[in-house]
Structure 1
């Protein structure tokens, strides 16, 4: 048994990953079992550099606000209107990810790589999460406004479903939408108000107009401008659906919310895949092919992750490599028990390695290892029952507390 498990491991490098997945997928998803560990982000950065230099990848997308990510993309592309690095790190990431030294290093490296290169060869950055935090959702204004302005400047005004003034009146004050209390009290949400219902119809009409005018809009602006307008459209309709679910008083409310979030993620990933191969980085739970589960408000919720949704659409052009950890001692996660998957991998001689997940599952056979139980809520161990559902596992023995 030990020899079989050892034979499933190889050195962690881009060439080995590509050999493992068998082809160059349009979306190569690298998961993490916890947030906030720069050791994992440093590993991601190195893998992305290798994918760029050896495999032709030109895009990285992470679990961060898709609209805020436009600022990062402008900066790494050395756009003329890009602000300074500090502002980009502060405003270009959600979930506090801009405070990460590894994320700052990624941004610096991408900008330096792009200097002097033609646009067709430049690296691109994208967030693929919605403008959502655990405490609530953004106002739809930041997506509806730019979408309307893009269309109003380029199509017959008679085709527009409304004026900008109508949108402003229906949206009202942004703090109506961003009230943190609405996350746990549906009665505080405006998502099912008469104004919100009308905005949903108008957003759908604006997106339909964008689609119907695609040839003209690409010719009149650029494919990049049209692509950005599509992002605004997806985000506007997604946010309005999400706000509608926030106002839902039924017991299925939380399940609907997490499902809608990952559906927004999946739509963004499918759009990113249209532009060429990309490295995707997010929590394992958002990228895995099986159903995801967690507890929110003391209740269990279960939903299809973005990875499961995208995999169903792209098939072999989507690949998923999970990350598993041995210890996070500064979080109270000590050496894993030897009868767990992480414990078996911890006994391997390498500090970090790439595991062939289907071969590991075959080596373990029907006698599944015990599931690891984390003493810290912020770390999610592997599910032994779903090892074969992924293409690979990156295993890192010990987290550096720095």
Structure 2
């Protein structure tokens, strides 16, 4: 099953959809235009059911095969939201929305799944039901969890679920996947260190939270180097250091630190949260300051299920001739919530030699469309072969 000829025929049309979405990016749950475009196209394709408003602005389409004797139902998910980044690609279809752009390729993901939905609605060459899932708010809003919390999996009886992401630097149209932990848990924390401010010429009359905070920043790196197993993966990064005074001659009374933690196991996630609290409060106390730690668990580790991963790789090899072993990725992905609800797998499709995602110069490569659409369609036809 190489790239399907139908997707070569549809590539120009799907590309036009993708570029329209690229021109009109929307953030988080505010995907009203995008969701409307998706729903209208699914209805035009002849989907058996189209429901809007799942997970606030998510869209679900149902496509029944020629027969349903297998009783199988698989979900195929694409994300729709953009990022709060100012575009710097120079393409003629660049974002028309100030301060927002499709810098992660969700426009491409949505367009490819729409292409697959059109094909599957035309052919219906499978025995079972395909549920196409278009999700808002992957970029920090947890839209996948919100759709699950809305009862999506049970409402449509979804038994397995599959997702895909483009990947710059990977050969165009190729695939890569791995079983087990794949994308990291993405937690955030904020630490407020309180001291006593004063004149910088008289530090002995102050309790300096700046020195305290600098010590904390350094000490937090010991979590990865001295607390976690050296062969495990854990990242603790301070990304913001803000004092309550910006004057050159004033020692501030307060410092706020913000950061992120990336882990690939529940054990390291617990370890990081515990040690951040211990180090911050302990060091602050030693320097006569106080520390308040707010730790928030965001996306969990995204874990591919073994059997579904092997199947997804098999379909990928049929499309492109190969499926590589993907690396561990310390970025987050809220498809993790769907994989906690149902067995499934997440795969990478190569975007070629392009700027990395989340860059102002990034752009989805439209030449990846036939491979991505073929993989989506192949999942349905191979998992639920026509009776």
| Same topology, TM > 0.5 | no
Determine which structure has more spread, i.e. the larger CA radius of gyration. 2
| TM-score (norm. length: structure 2) | 0.24
- Which has the larger helix fraction? 1
| TM-score (norm. length: structure 1) | 0.23
- Which has the larger strand fraction? 2
